[in-house]
Every structure is written in structure tokens, then in C-alpha cells.
Amino acid sequence: MQYDIIIVGGSYAGLSAGLALGRARKRTLIIDAGRRRNRFAHTAHGFLGQDGRAPGEIARIGRAEVAAYPTVSFLDGTAATAARDGDGFAVTLEGGATHTAARLILAVGVIDDLPDLPGLREGWGKGIVHCPYCHGYEVADRRLGVLALMPLATHQANMLPDWGPTTFLTNGVVHLTASERDALVARGVAIEEEAVAEILNAGDGLAGVRLVDGRTVALDALFTGIPTRLASPLAAQLGCAIDDMMGGPIIRVDVMGQTTVPGVYAAGDATAMMKSLPGAVASGYFVGAVAHQSLIPPAH
């Protein structure tokens, strides 16, 4: 079937774009592989009106709301390829089926590239989290750690004392200058320079970390920024420009949410330096509306 718009990615950004398009009565197909980035967490915070709700529940409610619009269809699966097809685009699924549309919205999100550090995968989204705005309040005044997996960790270590007593595990990744060290100490941050050998989880929480020299550091929560990569190669296949940012690559979009390929729009984590659920919802809705208006011939 020929659609007006295909949205690849049916999580917060994709659903929000679908909501705008369903309300504009456009024939919209949302293709989703069902691997939301925050599926490891029990609760999501910072999204006004839904603060503290389970991430899966927010997505479930969102999908039900969008599904109520009769011009929107859903397809559970993975879009393997996308390419220009005449004036529009063709998207082919892993199973081989191809769908076409006049416009394409990429809301594919990113993948956190977790390194092979023992205990990290098991604790991810539980005792180990990436964002103090998302999960800091719940562990306020407890023993907090910041694990350096990339240089940006120094910034996080400097922020975290606003939530509680902080130990910065530089882990052989960050080499502090004298002035950085002084600034962190002035913020009350304890600095541990031995590399981390293992994260010690305790059920759904954290016990601490074991260092390479065998010592342990007792902690109640660990914050760590993880390098990310785009969750799908579709943007690259289409020839969209991709920018390498400090945390990982993002799809380049202009102020209207359009990529460098006319007719291809993008939203959510895949386009954002500071990634968040409310940011994904906001950019998705905006891009949905912009993509709709791009289908209307100008009045002049």
C-alpha cells in the first residue's frame, strides 16, 4: 500500500509523530522493532504528566492513543533498508515486504554501547543509570558513584554532588588536570583513580564496585554516560548527513526536523545531543506536523 508517511521507530518519538499525522488524517505506517532504549528501567522520570510511571506503560498508553486514529497502521518488525523510490521512498522489512510513502520519518533511537565490564549489563537501568535528571532524585543523599567510560564523565562527576555524596571512579579513562581535580574536590567529590574490575550488583540495586587492586567501594547507585550509536543504518543508507558528537553519532536535522535528504525527517534520541523521553515526544510531534505540511502544495 502507498502511504503518505512511513515512520520507522514506534517508541516515544515515532508515536508522537504518528499522533500528529493521525490527527491530520494522513495515511501513516509506523514500523517498530520494539526495542525502546529505556526498556531496562522500572520507572521513567521527568516527563510531565507521567512522572514515575513505568516506561513500557507510557509507550503502551501512547500506542493505544495513536491506534485510535483510523488512518494510522502499525507493523511490528524491523525496517532493513530504505531508499528513494521516484518522488517518495521505499522501505523494505527484514521479512522482505516493501512499503512506499511520500515522506519518511526516522525515529529509530540509539543503542547504548555497553562495554564488557562484569556486572554492567546485569545492573543497567537498575543500580546503574546514565542520567541524574532521570534517576538521581530517587537515590538522593545515598552513596553515589560516577564511573568514567568516556571523558564526559568529569562533567557528570561535577554535577552529581547536587544529588548526594559522590565518588568519581576515573577508571583509567579520565586523567584529571590539577584544576579539574581542585574543582571536583571543592564540590566535595572523592576521587578514586584505580580501574574498576567489576560492578557488584545486589538484586535490583547496587552494592558497589570492586577495583583492580582488589579493594571495594561501597555505593548505592552508579551513574555512567555510555557511548551511543544509531539504532539503525537507514539514515546512512539514504545518504543523510550524520554528525559525530561527544556521546556518539546523531542524524543532522535542520530547525524543521528535516535531514539533509529532502523528504526525510528525523526525531528523538537519534537527533538529540541531550536525549530524553520528553524531548523525543516533543520533537516527534513537531516533525509529524512539519512532514504533514510538506505534503500540502503552497498557497502562492
| Footprint on this chain of ligand FAD (rule: CB under 6 A) | 8-14, 31-38, 40-41, 44-47, 78-79, 107-109, 112, 125, 129-130, 134, 231-232, 234, 268-269, 275-278, 280
CB of 110 to ligand FAD, least distance (A): 7
- For residues 211 and 289, which CB has a smaller minimum distance to ligand FAD in the complex? 289
Alpha-carbon separation of residue 97 from 79, 80, 104, 133 (angstroms): 9, 10, 17, 41
Q: Name the residue number minimizing CB distance to ligand FAD.
A: 268
- For residues 47 and 176, which CB has a smaller minimum distance to ligand FAD in the complex? 47
Tracing cell 523528504 back to the chain, one arrives at: 263
- For residues 76 and 162, which CB has a smaller minimum distance to ligand FAD in the complex? 76
CB of 73 to ligand FAD, least distance (A): 14
Residue 79 CB partners (closer than 8 Å, separation 6+): 8, 31, 33, 91, 92, 93, 94, 232, 234
CB of 277 to ligand FAD, least distance (A): 3
Nearest C-alpha neighbor of 286 from the set 88, 61, 19: 19
Burial (CB < 10 A; 0-12, 13-18, 19+), residue 242, is middle
> What is the biggest distance separating any 2 CA atoms in the chain, rounded to whole angstroms?
73
- For residues 16 and 171, which CB has a smaller minimum distance to ligand FAD in the complex? 16
CB of 204 to ligand FAD, least distance (A): 13
- For residues 96 and 298, which CB has a smaller minimum distance to ligand FAD in the complex? 96
* Cα separation, 14 vs 281, whole angstroms: 8
Pairing of strands 144-147, 221-223: parallel
CB of 285 to ligand FAD, least distance (A): 12
